[in-house]
Amino acid sequence: MKNTYNLRSIAAKAITQVLEQGQSLSAVIPEIQQRISDKDKALLQELCFGVMRTLPQLEWIISQLMAKPLKGKQRIFHYLIMVGIYQLIYTRIPAHAALAETVNGAINLKRPQLKGLINGVLRQFQRQQQELIERANNHISQYLHPKWLLERIQKAYPHNWQNIVDANNQKPPMWLRVNQLHHTANEYLVLLEEASIEAELDKSHPNAIRLLNPCSVNTLPGFDKGWVTIQDRSAQGCAELLTPCNEESILDLCAAPGGKTTHILEIAPKSKVLAIDIDEQRIKRVNENLQRLKLHAVVKTGDGRLPHEWATGEQFDRILLDAPCSATGVIRRHPDIKWLRRNEDIEQLATLQSEILDAIWPYLKKNGTLVYATCSILPQENSEQIKAFLERHSDAELSSETGTQEKPGTQIIPEITGGDGFFYARLTKQ
């Protein structure tokens, strides 16, 4: 049966929501995916994420092809043209199909009169494709990052900033976390082999497996039965570092969508976990993930800065604080971050993180363990944050496995076939 929708116009709409209205792709795309075919889900993802990855190059090319940019209500057609150019440069879709589908997007967006304009711009691009790409490369920064972010990365990593930026511009690998309550990673690898899914084990994380080619979760053996979860290997380090034990009371703060809540429970299924997040919508996903994995936790909405509003006053044996952060370690998974974040957000996030840390510290038992984690690569949110915390709290001690007093924490940078950028610090209360 022929689709009644036009995928290029849907992609242009999603991109408009991100770049003009400040929404994130991860908020916009899941809702759209409910109404399109499985095959189109992958293409929608490729078009939207690809445009975010290469935005400065595509913007520059359009500026050469159109004397006046489309503005106001017509802005969506600017992004439709962008989707067209992206397909011609980066996908194997035959040019005639990419062109026809993109031009027809104007009909779905109820402006058939713009078909001629879109067709004209895309055909002009086709004629000058090589030359325009070469000129774009000379005119724009090949790093495809906003200036403020590039400068922050260069300052923090004067020797390897280029590797970080390269990794940010790649498509991310797909990592699995094998549920150890069902299988070892070795056993699950055999199941993947039987399903003809190529994969390899990870040396540093016991339950992590990397797929050589990303695939749909529905093709993963036992996904519905909770045998496996999609989670980057760096994220798996958080619950491992927390070392939760059965019978302990554990607070998972900033828990949604529950990737680490479920990992804690896979390691210690009889621990008593309280999962808190401020976002009511995202917290629903913690419950869905717990259900799929048949695990149990108490899940509540709450602000980490105001624990007296949701905690009963008891202290916890362990606390995992997976703090809200700039997400600069996961740009390859969320390339829209490059255009949604602002330089001034970093200071605001660092303040929020320190407020949550200070508010929650009294709720940790003596000799208890707190793991602070972010998916950021910026020192302000990471080593500097923990250094300042240690200065404020004389009863906090940094475990030697995560850095030194001078440079607290373990900083992981994103690697092309490796894990995401991440930071962990393990603190104990004296």
Ligand X SMILES: C[S@@+](CC[C@H](N)C(=O)[O-])C[C@H]1O[C@@H](n2cnc3c(N)ncnc32)[C@H](O)[C@@H]1O
Q: Which of 303, 384, 397, 415 binds ligand X (CB under 6 A)?
A: 303
> Taking the complex as a whole, how short is the minimal distance between the CB of residue 270 and ligand X, in angstroms?
21
> Taking the complex as a whole, how short is the minimal distance between the CB of residue 70 and ligand X, in angstroms?
35
- The rounded distance, in Å, linking the Cα atoms of 25 and 45 is 9
257 assigned binding-site residue? yes
> Near ligand X by CB under 6 A, which window of 99-107, 116-124, 172-180, 274-282?
274-282
191-220 residues near ligand X, rule: CB under 6 A:
none
Instruction: Please report whether residue 398 would count as binding ligand X according to CB under 6 A.
Output: no
Closest to ligand X by CB, 199 vs 255, is 255
Q: Classify residue 403 by its DSSP letter.
A: B
Sequence-distant contacts of 155-158: CB under 8 A, at least 24 apart: 156/377, 156/378, 156/379, 157/377, 157/413
Q: Which of 232, 248, 322, 381 binds ligand X (CB under 6 A)?
A: 322
**8 Å CB contact between 380 and 346:** yes
> Near ligand X by CB under 6 A, which window of 79-87, 105-113, 117-125, 271-279?
271-279
Tell me the site size for ligand X, rule CB under 6 A. Answer: 17
Instruction: Please report whether residue 340 would count as binding ligand X according to CB under 6 A.
Output: no
Neighbours of 24 (CB within 10 A): 14
Which are the contacts of 356, defined by CB distance < 8 A and separation ≥ 6?
253, 254, 304, 305, 321, 323
Residue 348, CA distances (Å) to 256, 266, 326, 330, 343 in order: 21, 34, 10, 19, 10
Instruction: Please report whether residue 264 would count as binding ligand X according to CB under 6 A.
Output: no
Instruction: Please report whether residue 304 would count as binding ligand X according to CB under 6 A.
Output: yes
Which are the contacts of 60, defined by CB distance < 8 A and separation ≥ 6?
136, 139, 140
237 assigned binding-site residue? no
Instruction: Please report whether residue 232 would count as binding ligand X according to CB under 6 A.
Output: no
Instruction: Please report whether residue 278 would count as binding ligand X according to CB under 6 A.
Output: yes
**8 Å CB contact between 61 and 85:** yes
Instruction: Please report whether residue 324 would count as binding ligand X according to CB under 6 A.
Output: yes
> Taking the complex as a whole, how short is the minimal distance between the CB of residue 277 and ligand X, in angstroms?
5
**8 Å CB contact between 8 and 14:** no
- Rounded to a whole number of angstroms, the CA Rg of the chain reads 23
Whether 375 sits among the annotated catalytic residues: the reply is: yes
> Taking the complex as a whole, how short is the minimal distance between the CB of residue 332 and ligand X, in angstroms?
16
- The rounded distance, in Å, linking the Cα atoms of 31 and 33 is 6
Instruction: Please report whether residue 244 would count as binding ligand X according to CB under 6 A.
Output: no
Closest to ligand X by CB, 40 vs 277, is 277
Closest to ligand X by CB, 84 vs 304, is 304
Instruction: Please report whether residue 241 would count as binding ligand X according to CB under 6 A.
Output: no
The DSSP line for 285-327 is: HHHHHHHHHT---EEEE--TT-GGGT--S--EEEEEEE-----
- The rounded distance, in Å, linking the Cα atoms of 49 and 16 is 13
Annotated binding site for S-adenosyl-L-methionine: 254-260, 277, 303, 322
Q: Give the residue numbers annotated as catalytic, written as ranges.
A: 375
- Contact residues: ligand X, CB under 6 A: 254-260, 277-279, 282, 303-305, 322, 324, 356
